[in-house]
Amino acid sequence: MIWEFIQNQILGMKWLNELIGNALTMMGLDINTRVGGSIQFFIYDVLKITVLLCFLIYMISYIQSYFPPERSKKIMGRFKGISAHCIAALLGTVTPFCSCSSIPLFIGFTSAGLPLGVTFSFLISSPMVDLGSLILLMSIFGTKVAVVYVIFGLVIAVAGGTLIEKMHLENYVEAFVRNASAVDIDSPTLTQKERLEYAKDQVVSTFRKVFPYIVVGVGIGALIHNWIPEVWVESILGSNNPFGVILATLIGIPMYADIFGTIPIAEALLAKGAQLGTILSFMMAVTTLSLPSLIMLRKAVKPKLLGIFIAICAIGIIVVGYVFNTLQYFMI
């Protein structure tokens, strides 16, 4: 009962939805109509995600202040084999929220001489399974789904990086990255006040970049939730379409957003009858294989390595989608 209260009232903020509904009703708006329901959905999700966004960025940025690039590089350099991939994937969970933010760190780690496969484990994990995604998924889909999602994301990161390492693709990294001289600078020791100030600055900076995507994502979610017929969503992304997972993955790849922008879309799709695994595949594809991040990554690696990276991530995402669809009855 305690955890249910935390999930529904603290993470899910159901009280906020009721409060907004009552306020709109007092203003003379019927929230049972499409227009009224869309307005309620939009205000509620924007406020909920914004509050969670600011809180999570602050907490994660504070943690991240203990893991600057130099320290992360040294930590990953101490491990070999599968353990190195696991550490890289775990470090990816405390790095920036979108895939584009991870590319510069990937280039820095690669130029510093870390194994290519290890840096790819970091690159896959960073946007896919950050700590923010765990909390947000818990607020929408529940604890089981969130935990299993993160576990699968880490498995994809470790397996993908390991496979790239076994294929010995170092020559497919662009010369300017391989020949770059790494500057080994000890991370300055930050005071507690400086760490808190850093976390606050990260909240402001990230919020400015992410908020437009939240508004767009919530707007799309409100449209799906109140205007698109349920039968349409079920026919395309429901259990009657065996190719729904593949379709959702392909649709997600060209898009650009982060976990905060995709959550309201996923919430609306689930309410309309889309399968859980199909929705999660869409989210993974958007956050991990966004077109802007692939364009940035192409500057650092050659087409063959880029193609292998995309194939590994896409196949892993599709497999995860079908597994979640199979287990949906036990997860929700």
Q: How far is CA 247 from CA 170, 187, 317, 321, in A?
A: 32, 44, 12, 11
Spatial contact of 141 and 270, defined as CB atoms under 8 Å apart = yes
Say how many CA atoms lie within 13 Å of 17 toward its Cβ: 14
- Residue 113: DSSP 8-state: T
**How is residue 172 annotated by DSSP?**
G
7-11, 38-42, 281-285: range with lowest mean pLDDT: 7-11
**DSSP per position, 46-101:** HHHHHHHHHHHHHHHHHHHTT--HHHHHHHHHT--HHHHHHHHHHHHTTS-SSHHH
DSSP code, position 168: T
**Distance (Å, rounded) from C-alpha 73 to C-alpha 84?**
11
Rounded distance between C-alpha atoms, residue 260 and residue 11, angstroms:
14
Q: Mean pLDDT lowest for which of 88-102, 160-174, 242-256?
A: 88-102
SS (H, E, C) 93-151: CCCCCCHHHHHHHHHHHHHCCCCHHHHHHHHHHHHHCCHHHHHHHHHHHCHHHHHHHHH
Q: Is residue 69 over pLDDT 70?
A: no
User: Residue 229 has what DSSP assignment?
Assistant: -
Closest alpha carbon to 305 in 123, 155, 156 = 123
When mean pLDDT is compared over 152-166, 215-229, 242-256, 286-300, the highest value belongs to: 152-166
Query: What mean pLDDT is predicted for residues 75-92?
Result: 84
140-196 tens-digit pLDDT: 788 888 888 888 989 999 999 999 999 998 888 888 777 755 444 445 677 888 889
Q: Domain ranges for the chain, please list them.
A: 2-178+209-331
How many residues comprise the chain? 332
If one compares 229 and 125, the residue with the highest pLDDT of the two is: 125
Q: Name 88's Cβ contacts closer than 8 Å, sequence gap at least 6.
A: 76, 118, 119, 121, 122, 125, 157, 161
Inform me whether the pLDDT recorded for 56 exceeds 70.
yes
The predicted model scores a pTM of: 0.73
Q: How confident is the model at residue 76 (pLDDT cuts 50, 70, 90)?
A: confident
